[in-house]
Copies of this chain bind each other. A is one copy, B any other.
């Protein structure tokens, strides 16, 4: 059996659902996969009933039979635990297992992911099916690894069942020990929300104007992440007891309200991503994914984030056909060449395993239009032919396996601020502009970068070492609204030792609870960043664009404007040119130690970000080797023995 992610070659695989097809098709399907270069399959992740058709009745005949075929075909198998789709008998008997809408209405059987992580019954029944499955198949020779659940937090990443409220209470007791501490953290003195008994505490519930206490929501998001991680770890711990020593454990997809870094650290050998760039071509996609016009190229941003989560990673589901449910997400077919392009995009960003979704299109069910490589008809088709071409290419670059993605700068991220963006409309407005703008500018200037995570402040072990940062000559940290003393110290040290740090507006005014301490802005960053934020405003909706000029280039300080005064010897590099803040400082720079800190009072829209990338000499690092238009992405994987350049042409 071929193994994956060993650093020795790049492998292709595919997702397969033996239960969707007559058994008579299995043998031919497996042979045909191998003939076309697919070396591994992922199976079983939605198949609880096949092993436990009634509560407590276990029967493994079905996958016993299939795995025997796989073994005979020398097909490597990744086996999925089935907890993403509880059986009808389960949710009907135990409705407490169901997730609920914020107003309490239960999500029911008929789709998927309608369970909550905190129901004790569901935890027990999930543990049992995982235990039975792992025990039965742990040593099976065809199996090379395990996938836990499927797309944790996909579809919905909010949980409002009664089980969740009970578990939230426990989570909060562990965190705060007593109610006064909780009341303080949640600022409940505002609007008289003080709790006097633990039983009064719930997950967020229906409120007027859908505005629950923001500090409660911050804890709630951390709780959702904790619940998901715990659910995954419970399964991982069980599987570890039974799996073969060098079989891996992973899960797939990358979703929100979830500390993926910590989940990987706690429970997984590596992360796998589900990459569907064709979402950019859904018919109701308006505006196109990325107002920047980057369309499928935006998925390079996702892949960069995956690389941050898991240095080694694979693609468990790589798009191979048009996508769509029967109810939504109607999408065009990938154009000729796009399947190749997206495969190479994944590999360019570090994936050493690429598994397509799915072998053959489902003939029934909600995903009837989520096309696989093959159409309903099973005939040879354009996509199968393209797979042959891909396989040929991948074979030629086997040595790229294990090679590191070459980044010329870093972008700092952390979970505190990611979660704050979720609950804070002010933060969200500036974040969205910069998150897209910085990525787009870097793409168009062929300036590859890494996301570098500072983790969640609630997890002190997540703080990276100074060395992790110093690998990057420049770090952007666009809008670290929430700042801690530890992170500020790390950043100060980075600069002192020669790093260049670039900050944007709205930095540093919140603590990890989401409170705004009585500090001059930008809070804990003010000690070394050289900027005093004396005033600020969203750009008024009736205002013309607010521009600034730096080194002779004029660009917009979009959406928000911090009004700065230089301190500690910082210099003003640019001022606002119009609006009521005309003449006030918009960009300061302080030389500090061996490094420099820039504080920019605006957001990193695509144009603004491009100016920073150019002025910091981060653009076109490959100019000596490759001359390419902006429409092309350039990526480099630095191998031990060779450099692998990926030049990806996104023009249709």
Question: Which residues of chain A have a CB within 8 Å of any CB of chain B?
Answer: 17, 19-20, 46-49, 53-54, 82, 85-89, 92, 99, 101, 103-114, 155-156, 186-187, 189-197, 199-200, 202, 204-216, 281-283, 285-286, 288, 295, 322, 324-328, 330-333, 335-336, 361-369, 375-379, 381-382, 423-426, 429, 509, 513-521, 534-543, 580, 652
Contacts and interface: CB of A to CB of B under 8 A. Distances in A.
Contacts of A202: 108-109
Given A111-B213, A326-B426, A379-B520, 12 more contacts: A49-B189, A87-B192, A89-B196, A108-B205, A109-B202, A110-B207, A111-B208, A111-B212, A156-B208, A190-B362, A369-B426, A382-B535
A107 B208 contact: yes
Instruction: Count chain B CB atoms within 10 A of each CB in A114, A202, A368, A513 and give the residue with the most.
Output: A368
Contact of A193 (B88, B191, B423): B88
A633 to B, nearest CB: 18
Contacts of A156: 208-209
21 contacts: A19-B189, A53-B196, A85-B191, A89-B196, A104-B105, A107-B206, A108-B207, A109-B193, A110-B212, A110-B216, A111-B207, A112-B208, A191-B366, A210-B327, A214-B326, A214-B364, A214-B365, A282-B541, A330-B429, A332-B541, A382-B534
Contacts of A208: 99, 107, 111-114, 155-156
Contacts of A104: 105
A365 B209 contact: no
Given A517-B376, A580-B336, A425 B215 contact: no
A573 B536 CA distance: 55
A538 B330 contact: yes
A106 B103 CA distance: 8
B515 A426 contact: no
A328 B425 CA distance: 6
A483 B376 CA distance: 15
Nearest to A54: B196
A556 B272 CA distance: 42
A190 B367 contact: yes
A363 to B, nearest CB: 5
A111 to B, nearest CB: 4
Contacts of A518: 363, 376-378
B187 A85 contact: no
Contacts of A368: 214, 514, 516
* Main SS at interface, chain A: loop
Instruction: Count chain B CB atoms within 10 A of each CB in A112, A327, A378 and give the residue with the most.
Output: A327
Q: How many copies does the complex hold?
A: 3
A213 B110 contact: yes
A537 B192 contact: no
A540 B335 contact: yes
B190 A332 contact: no
A378 B521 CA distance: 11
A514 B190 CA distance: 43
B192 A82 contact: yes
Contact of A536 (B110, B285, B333): B333
A158 to B, nearest CB: 10
Contacts of A325: 209, 211, 425
B207 A377 contact: no
A623 to B, nearest CB: 29
B541 A426 contact: no
Contacts of A82: 192
Contacts of A195: 88
Contacts of A332: 537-541, 543
A425 B538 contact: no
Nearest to A513: B364
Contacts of A199: 92
* 4 interchain residue pairs of minimum CB distance: A187-B364, A190-B365, A333-B537, A111-B207
Contact of A213 (B46, B54, B365): B365
A425 B207 contact: no
A368 B513 CA distance: 13
Contacts of A333: 535-538
Nearest to A326: B214
A277 to B, nearest CB: 13
Contacts of A86: 192
Contacts of A19: 189
Contacts of A114: 207-208
Given A89-B196, A92-B197, A365-B187, A538 B214 contact: no
Contacts of A215: 364-365
A580 B335 CA distance: 7
Contacts of A326: 211, 214, 423-426, 514
A321 to B, nearest CB: 10
Contact of A111 (B211, B363, B542): B211
A111 B192 CA distance: 9
Nearest to A108: B205
Contacts of A187: 362-365
A88 B516 contact: no
A369 to B, nearest CB: 6
A195 B90 CA distance: 10
Given A190-B20, A194-B88, A542 B295 contact: yes
Instruction: Count chain B CB atoms within 10 A of each CB in A108, A362, A513 and give the residue with the most.
Output: A108
Contacts of A379: 520
B212 A376 contact: no
A168 B200 CA distance: 30
Contact of A206 (B108, B281, B538): B108
A276 to B, nearest CB: 15
A574 B416 CA distance: 58
A191 B365 contact: yes
B190 A46 contact: yes
Contacts of A49: 189, 192, 194, 196
Contact of A517 (B47, B330, B363): B363
